[in-house]
Structure 1
């Protein structure tokens, strides 16, 4: 083997090692999780109690479209909460273990002050985490900015809750963008759609969802 052949062999070896390293480091947030089968019965739509479902929700070509107005009624006549049109994942409430929500979301320009994804339930307060859109930014509740420039584009979001370790992690497009402690154990479940914040909301709020999945880590 001459000098050029030796150099070429070394280059090939280096490329193989580099590719293997990249593959090993590039992990998907769903790795190690088991996909939990969902049916239509797992999707409960909460909407203003005085309007028909089709006036606040549609499902076409695999896309859930949910919208609400600032002066809408709550989802229940006995509730004092803000207006919402949300998908409440039913039949998969949890109180322990590691669970994950995955979906592709779309928020049209102009929607602001709307919770698009949450984990309901906690020992401290009503929710474990709320992800809101303000002016195209995603915020943790109304505080820390998690991501920007989210209007008018589809984005993949993964939300992992490790109840036993007491933490929650958010991924966008497979990249971790946020992590925090949870609010303690409780009767927990995932919700997505639009739920108006207590203040600083747009009159019209909408989000769209497709490819919604729930995962659980086993073992």
Structure 2
């Protein structure tokens, strides 16, 4: 059984920032924002319903590791989505304003189709933003390559 998708996130590097966009040429992209730290109570782990969660998710030394196999089921029997293990962040849902998400990720060599993050709320489609890894490159949705050669290294 081959490993299909695996993603690791460093929990200390995760936080939301809310505020107003800066119009100046400053290098501090967080200027004018307020940090809203996340903790474990903000995370809901969704993993395949046909296996125990600990077989698809771990939190060791502040690193979240998530993976799925091609034979796994969706996160609920009624779900029509693809197989996934993911962290759903609750408590900072929003419908307006300027938000910034920051985190660290790691995708091992050879894993393709990995979704790093997704923001819902677009029209007519459900997804406003999705960062995905295909063949070693990080993409914005299905559009341009944001970072080539992303495998086997931590990225922010």
Question: In 2, Cα distance between the equivalents of 1:80 and 1:148?
Answer: 32
Shift of the alpha carbon at 1:25? 5.1
1:55 aligns with 2:47: no
Structure 1: distance between partners of 2:28 and 2:49? 39
Query: Following TM superposition, by how much is the alpha carbon of 1:140 offset from its aligned partner in structure 2, in angstroms?
Result: 2.1
- Extract unaligned runs of 5+ from structure 1: 1-23, 157-219
CA shift for structure 1 position 26: 5.3
Give secondary structure in 2 for the equivalent of 1:155. coil
TM-score (norm 2): 0.79
**Alignment-derived partner of residue 18 in structure 1:** none
In structure 2, the residue matched to 1:119 is 119
User: What does residue range 1-219 of structure 1 map to in structure 2 within 5 Å?
Assistant: 27-156=27-156
Cα distance between partner residues in 2 of 1:83 and 1:41: 24
Distance 2:69 2:88 in 1: 19
Aligned to 1:84, the other structure's residue is in SS state: coil
Partners of 1:70 and 1:120 lie apart in 2 by 25
Question: What's the offset of the Cα at 1:152?
Answer: 0.6
The whole-number CA distance in structure 2 between the counterparts of 1:117 and 1:91 is: 17
Give CA deviations for 1:4-44 in whole Å, capped at 9, x if unaligned.
xxxxxxxxxxxxxxxxxxxx955132222111132211011
User: What is the CA distance between 1:130 and its match in structure 2?
Assistant: 0.9
TM-score (normalised: structure 1): 0.57
State the distance in 2 between where 1:79 and 1:25 align.
45
Q: CA RMSD in A?
A: 1.6
Q: Structure 2, unaligned stretches of length 5 or more?
A: 1-23
Find the aligned partners of 2:30 and 2:71 in 1 and give their Cα distance: 38
Larger radius of gyration: 1
Q: Could you tell me how far apart the structure 2 residues matched to 1:99 and 1:87 are?
A: 18
Q: Distance in 2 between matches of 1:62 and 1:103?
A: 12
Normalized per residue, which structure has more helix? Answer: 1
**Partners in 1 of 2:142 and 2:62 — Cα distance?**
30
**Deviation per residue, 1:175-196 (Å, 9 max, x gap):** xxxxxxxxxxxxxxxxxxxxxx
Q: Using the TM superposition, give the Cα deviation of residue 123 of structure 1 relative to its aligned residue in structure 2, in angstroms.
A: 3.1
Post-superposition CA distance 1:139-158 (Å, at most 9, x none): 122332221011111111xx
Number of equivalent positions? 133
